[in-house]
């Protein structure tokens, strides 16, 4: 079965492909020649992942899935959330985003936060949603050089290292994205 992953990132697609039985063929947006800018205008992670998956389903009539991830900080009422990529502006700078979060939390003792990934899968015109969460807290300074985005300022629950101080394998064992994808993969193995 052909299944489109609404991303241009072939590494992400290869990773999912390697976890699925051989009868699934994962295609990227590049593979299906989708060069359109897919709207991400919803106000929730659920809404954005649905918009992306629906766009592919409507325009290409293919089974597909899309993911959307956000960092949700308690003391900021769940922000940056769906705005995580562009929290400090449209240039989508990870450094600027982290600086903004750290300054907003400067005198805040409640540092609880979570990363949340939502995947929407559209399979034979039915919609399924999978969620992966990793709880943790925001550090007071940036630490580590691995990973991307907010990794240098996020410490998963019960641990001391930030995500950016872990290897990719260590992070993948517990990450929000890995958890959401595991759920979808378990579901797909049974269809
Ligand atoms: P996306 O939905 O995967 O594109 O994620 C949106 C934004 O959330 C990214 O641009 C990052 O700022 C942030 N983000 C998502 N996943 C992670 C992660 O695993 N570590 C750190 N930041 C992340």
Task: State if residue 181 touches ligand 1 by the CB under 6 angstroms criterion.
Answer: no
Both tokens assigned to 109: 């003792």
pLDDT value at residue 36: 87
pLDDT in tens, 2-42: 999 999 999 889 989 998 999 999 999 999 999 988 989 99
> Whose structure tokens read 């809404």?
47
Give the residue from 143, 87, 85, 133 showing the smallest Cα distance to 113. Answer: 133
* Domain limits, the chain: 2-190
**Placement of tokens 């691995």 in the chain:** 146
The per-residue pLDDT for 84 is 98
- pLDDT on residue 111: 98
Task: Determine whether 68 is an active site residue.
Answer: yes
pLDDT digits (tens, 9 = 90+) for 113-126: 999 999 999 999 99
| 30: nearest Cα among 67, 4, 58 | 4
- Which 8-state DSSP code applies to residue 86? T
- What is the C-alpha to C-alpha distance for residues 187 and 119, in angstroms, rounded to an integer? 12
CATH number for the domain running over 2-190: 3.90.950.10
For residue 55, what pLDDT is reported? 97
How far is ligand 1, taken at its centre, from the CA of residue 32, in Å? 24
Note the pLDDT of residue 30.
Answer: 96
* Residue numbers of the chain with a pLDDT score lower than 50: none
What is the end-to-end Cα distance of the chain in Å, rounded? 11
Rounded to 10 deg, the angle between the 10-19 and 176-189 helix axes is: 50
Name the residue at shortest CA distance from atom 7 of ligand 1. Answer: 85
From CA 158, how far away is CA 33, in angstroms rounded?
Answer: 44
Give the pLDDT score at 37. 86
């Amino acid at each position: 079965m052909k299944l489109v992953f609404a991303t241009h990132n072939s590494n992400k697609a290869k990773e999912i492909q390697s976890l699925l039985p051989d009868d699934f063929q994962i295609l990227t947006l590049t593979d299906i020649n989708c060069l359109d800018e897919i709207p991400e205008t919803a106000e929730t992670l659920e809404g954005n992942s649905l918009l992306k998956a629906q766009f592919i389903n409507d325009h290409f009539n293919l089974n597909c899935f899309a993911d959307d991830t956000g960092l949700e900080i308690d003391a900021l009422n769940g922000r940056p959330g769906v705005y995580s990529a562009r929290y400090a502006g449209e240039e989508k700078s990870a450094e600027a985003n982290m600086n903004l979060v750290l300054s907003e939390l400067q005198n805040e003792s409640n540092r609880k936060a979570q990363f949340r990934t939502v995947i929407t899968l559209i399979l034979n015109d039915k919609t399924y949603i999978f969620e992966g969460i990793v709880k943790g807290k925001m550090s007071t300074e940036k630490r580590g050089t691995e990973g991307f985005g907010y990794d240098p300022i996020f410490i998963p629950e019960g641990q001391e290292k930030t995500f950016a101080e872990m290897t990719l394998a260590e992070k993948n064992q517990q990450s929000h994205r890995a958890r959401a994808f595991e759920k979808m993969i378990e579901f797909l193995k049974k269809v």
